[in-house]
A = this chain, B = another copy of it.
Amino acid sequence: MSKLLIVGTVAFDAIETPFGKTDKILGGAATFIGLAASQFGVKSAIVSVVGDDFPQGYLEMLQHKDIDTSGIEVVKGGKTFFWKGKYHNDLNTRDTLVTELNVLADFKPKVPEDFKNCDFLMLGNLHPTIQMDVIKQIPNRPKLVVLDTMNFWMNNTWDELIEVLKKIDVITINDEEARQLSGEYSLVKAAQRISEFGPKYVVIKKGEHGALLFHKENIFFAPALPLEEVFDPTGAGDTFAGGFIGYLAKTKDISFENMKNAVIFGSNLASFSVEKFGTRRMEYLTKDEIYNRLRQFKQLTQFEIELN
């Protein structure tokens, strides 16, 4: 069985959407990635940090999903990273109201011994120096390293980001960030440019407009499932990444052909994540639901035209 190591935030989120608002609930990139990847029955662990205000019940929920939490450091007297945001009516844009780094400010990741030989490494959105630190703790290069990042690191830690991009295989990034990172408006050109920084595979996430997978001259497109209601988009991109790497870790096949399937599963899982606040939908998601939705994805995109 593949071993998947996930690095990223485990956090509190407070979310306001046109449909309602929450107090502090479970959030964080690594949380969403881990929950999505757990659907594929791989051996996974999260490396992160929380304060001692973090409920034990949340850790138990993750453990119940067969996620090793021994790499989640609990800082005595510390407070967990907190993000508060409010979505606009279109749910495509949001304002950040509060960001409290708290224990994340001094985070020194420690990869558990049992995962130093991981086959798959998912570097969730974090300071690129932390992402690099994790790479350096792993003596033999994993079969596949996937990195997610955001515009904040491009604005503030450009050089560190460029360094870590040299070490990875796949980058997942949204369309605006791809344009910023590459200086190209066309996503085709942006992906070419970004792959020159290091990652041979570039995944550009376009939210409700789906996701594009690029490798050399090849392009594959995974649509987002058109939904009647999007309830809360928080964590959709991380869920996508978790579904992507979880499927690859399960099948152990990192060919472009199989990555097509992986982005379909990423999009599939993300379509559930947005149905409820926070991680709620992902906690109770079943394999049957995923495979039923896979049928919808097939109906949505598969066509039969004879090439004459």
Q: Please report A residues at the B interface, Cβ cutoff 8 Å.
A: 89-90, 185-189, 206, 209-210, 212, 218-221, 223, 226-230, 257, 260-261, 264-265, 291, 294-295, 298-305, 307-308
The interface residues of chain B lying within 8 Å CB-to-CB of A189 are: 228
By a CB distance below 8 angstroms, the chain B residues around A221 are 223, 226, 300-301
Q: Are B226's CB and A264's CB within 8 A?
A: no
In the complex, which of the residues B218, B265, B302 contacts A299, with contact meaning CB atoms closer than 8 Å? B218
A-B contact pairs, 24 of them (CB 8 A): A186-B226, A186-B227, A186-B228, A186-B229, A187-B226, A188-B226, A188-B228, A189-B228, A218-B299, A219-B299, A220-B300, A221-B223, A223-B301, A261-B304, A261-B305, A264-B303, A264-B305, A265-B305, A291-B308, A294-B307, A298-B307, A301-B301, A301-B303, A302-B302
Q: Are B303 and A260 in contact (CB under 8 A)?
A: yes
Measured CA separation A247–B187 after assembly (Å): 29
A219, B227: Cα distance in complex, Å: 11
Chain B residues with CB below 8 A from A303, complex form: 220, 260-261, 264, 301
Q: Please state if A223 and B223 are interface contacts (CB–CB under 8 Å).
A: yes
Contact residues in B for A304 (Cβ distance below 8 Å): 257, 261
A222 vs chain B, min Cβ distance (A)? 8
A265 CB, nearest partner CB in chain B, Å? 8
Q: Which 3 A-B pairs have the closest CB atoms?
A: A209-B209, A260-B303, A188-B228
